Amino acid sequence: MKVKLQFYNLNIFNFKIKIMNREKITTEHSAESWNEEVEKYKKGEKIDIYARNRYPELEKKEKEFAKMIKVPDTALFNAGMAAIYTAIEAENLKPGDVVLCGKDVYSQTKEMYNSLEKRGIKIELINSGDMDEIEENIKSKKPRLIILEDIANAHDMQVCDIKKLAGLTEQANGIYQSELSPDNLLEQYFSKREQYKDASPEFKENATTKIQEFKQGNNPFVFRDIIKEVEDTADLSTKDAIREVSRMVKFVLRNSREKLSLIIDNTLASPILYNPIKDLEGSDVEAVVVESGTKHYQEGQDKITLGIAYSNRQGKIDAIKKKRTELGTYLQPVAEKEIPQDITETMPDILKQHADNALRLAEMLSKSKNIIAVSHPNLPAHKQNELVKEIAPEGLVSLFYIKVPDAEEFVKKVKELGGDKIGVGGSFGHKKTWLYNIGDQIRIAAGSEKGVEFEETLDIFRKAMEKTD
């Protein structure tokens, strides 16, 4: 009876998959429903015409992830890089904006830094685990955006104190609004120039308004009446008045700041092991969290690339989804249907197993005299271990780094001993343990093995150390 019941449920489950996932990119409508979509389009509402705009299966999955993460909404993408790229583009950065960027980030993210610099955006590199350095850079550089990995995927595995970062961001935004707003900066500008001592409040207000209009449309003709007023107020020629208004506008645009936002890459932890949104509760800070869902959002199947973004503000995700439609970075239906239907139920246990395995492996390797160093945030030797004990005492990550005298030889021995039980290559989140080496460093990404299976994995590494010794 039990076997029949399981078979019956499995058939129903498979049937649901077939009817829930579309096979085509374009939505086929009746004449009536098409007219409804046209009316929605005219009103600027969401439409179901083409998968790039939206499709029901994707929205359902995004809401399921939002419920799991405890955020208003999520946005899914065709890759992790698509998620971070779209999130950055949705910030609408402009030339002259300053962005503080974590030094230890994914190599393709560094390429994105280079691309931003070519567009006139100023990039300042920071150590994401050094809060004093971050504070100093916020004060001196007055950034528009901060991009970093909360747990850096590099040997030192720097951990950012998100709660402190939120506090620093709130302080910065308070200064931006009180001291660096266009009206306050104009007041400073006028107070230092004798020719404006008799300028009317209406003139100052008009100048502020025109600068805001210029920021929106980049149209210099909005300053025509201001130029005329400067001619009269300061007794200048038209040519000199144009120069004066240009100086005024440049001063305001160079020094004004509207807000400081955050983009946090949480790929290593996922919201299961650490959810940075929780450390933003009660804060006015606007943050977007991005992840490469390729790693932890498909139960180790390794079938698709996937990205996800979520936020403590619905408006942020709305802007990201709008930009996603423009860029075409959405998750296509053929990939969406590969996400396990029960992923939000299974993901917590799987991630906790990964983290537990990683910590056990790291603790064992740290005791070997032939391992030069083991870098895992939950080990006492880690610089931010006290912070990690607060935010994720049972395990913050599913991978860690080691240094050995001969990394190539060590990887070779582990693979020889483990055979198909061990993977060698990039990425992580696999069902079995994977490792790869760069120079004298080895990254070990723990699998989700359980019981006897994981004991065998431990034994493989134990024997590899004995051979090395």
Give CA angle at 328 (280, 429), nearest 5°: 55
Q: How confident is the model at residue 2 (pLDDT cuts 50, 70, 90)?
A: very low
Tell me the C-alpha distance between 374 and 331, whole Å. Answer: 37
Task: Walk across the sheet containing 98-102 and list its strands.
Answer: 74-77, 307-311, 287-292, 261-265, 145-149, 98-102, 122-126
> Is pLDDT above 50 for 1?
no
Task: Give the tens place of pLDDT for each residue, 118-136.
Answer: 999 999 999 999 999 999 9
Structure tokens at 118: 């070519």
Task: Give the tens place of pLDDT for each residue, 311-355.
Answer: 999 999 999 999 999 999 999 999 999 999 999 999 999 999 999
Residue (of 87, 144, 154, 42) closest to 288 by Cα position: 87
Structural domains in the chain?
A: 61-177+258-341 (3.40.640.10), 182-255 (no CATH), 345-468 (3.90.1150.10)
Q: Is 450 left (phi over 0), alpha (psi -120 to 50) or beta?
A: beta
Q: Residue 408 in contact with residue 439, Cβ under 8 Å?
A: no
Tell me the C-alpha distance between 465 and 417, whole Å. Answer: 11
Structure tokens at 43: 């009103």
Task: Give the tens place of pLDDT for each residue, 187-240.
Answer: 888 888 888 877 888 888 888 899 888 888 888 888 998 899 888 888 889 999
Q: What is the pLDDT of residue 5?
A: 40
Q: What is the pLDDT of residue 49?
A: 66
Q: What is the pLDDT of residue 465?
A: 86
Cα-Cα-Cα-Cα dihedral sign, residues 413, 416, 421, 426: positive
Residue appearing with tokens 């020719």:
195
Q: Kindly report the pTM of this predicted structure.
A: 0.86
Total length of the chain: 469
Taking the CA of residue 146 as centre, how many other CA atoms within 13 Å lie in the half-sphere pointing to its CB?
A: 32
419-428 LR contacts (CB < 8 Å, sep 24+): 421/456, 421/457, 421/460, 422/457, 422/460, 427/294, 427/295, 427/302, 428/295, 428/398, 428/399
Q: Residue 208 in contact with residue 178, Cβ under 8 Å?
A: no
> Is pLDDT above 70 for 17?
no
